[in-house]
């Protein structure tokens, strides 16, 4: 579990001790999936940011929080959110302009299955497609009677904030490079920027 994920869990589960936090996380395939998909904040230039799958989940959570958070009975009667509503929303998020609809349609569920199909907690697709309307499987939203949607949403938001900070650092580095006068200073800065942890966009 990444440290920022643990911090969010501790914040949202104040009555849980460390072992209980770990057990809660282990019981939630949704939270474990998000933990796996948020590696780009520590990754090198080859690490994918996974915006498509993450934003597919986040777009549903965004509307779910207002409509169905801690309302399990009502959610069981819900048929899902219209594709266009979700698609327009996540295309407007940071880095989402060029995203396609693959995550909502099949890609996310296929990856989710590949990662967790052998886990006893696996209960089918994470995102349910109900004739073009989409929703998160209720069994992944509730762990021991606790709605994890708020935690999941906070994890994604923190991940995006960390990526924004990483991008801001890249812009700052480029601006510093442009301001340097001597060739030696420029070469040193370029070498620093092109190490293993560099962003692929530099190339």
pLDDT tens track for 14-43: 999 999 999 999 999 999 999 999 875 555
- According to the model, what pLDDT value does residue 179 have? 73
pLDDT band at 202 (very low <50, low <70, confident <90, very high): very low
∠ CA 136-142-147, nearest 5°, is 95
Query: What is the widest separation between alpha-carbon atoms in the chain?
Result: 67
CB 149 within 8 A of CB 67: no
Q: What SS3 class is residue 49?
A: coil
pTM for this entry: 0.79
The pLDDT tens digits of the residues spanning 39-50 come to 755 554 444 557
CB 126 within 8 A of CB 112: yes
Question: Where are the chain's structural domains?
Answer: 3-162
Average pLDDT, the chain: 85
The pLDDT tens digits of the residues spanning 165-175 come to 766 565 565 66
- Taking alpha carbons only, the member of 45, 18, 19, 50 closest to residue 34 is 50
pLDDT band at 90 (very low <50, low <70, confident <90, very high): confident
pLDDT band at 86 (very low <50, low <70, confident <90, very high): very high
Question: Which are the contacts of 17, defined by CB distance < 8 A and separation ≥ 6?
Answer: none
């Amino acid at each position: 579990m990444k440290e920022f994920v643990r911090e969010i869990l501790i914040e949202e589960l104040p009555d849980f001790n460390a072992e209980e936090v770990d057990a809660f996380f282990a019981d939630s395939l949704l939270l474990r999936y998000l933990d796996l998909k948020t590696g780009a904040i520590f990754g090198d230039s080859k690490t994918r940011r996974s915006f498509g799958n993450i934003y597919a989940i986040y777009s549903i959570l965004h509307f779910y929080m207002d409509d169905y958070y801690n309302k399990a009975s009502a959610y069981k009667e819900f048929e899902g959110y219209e594709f266009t509503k979700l698609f327009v929303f996540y295309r407007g998020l940071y880095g989402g302009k060029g995203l396609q609809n693959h995550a909502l349609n099949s890609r996310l569920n296929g990856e989710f299955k590949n990662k967790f199909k052998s886990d006893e907690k696996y209960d089918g697709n994470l995102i349910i497609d109900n004739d073009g309307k989409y929703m998160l499987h209720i069994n992944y939203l509730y762990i021991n009677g606790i709605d994890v949607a708020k935690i999941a949403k906070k994890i994604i938001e923190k991940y995006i904030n960390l990526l924004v900070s990483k991008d801001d650092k890249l812009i700052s580095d480029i601006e510093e490079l442009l301001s340097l006068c001597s060739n030696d200073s420029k070469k040193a800065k370029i070498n620093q920027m092109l190490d293993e942890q560099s962003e692929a966009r530099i190339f």
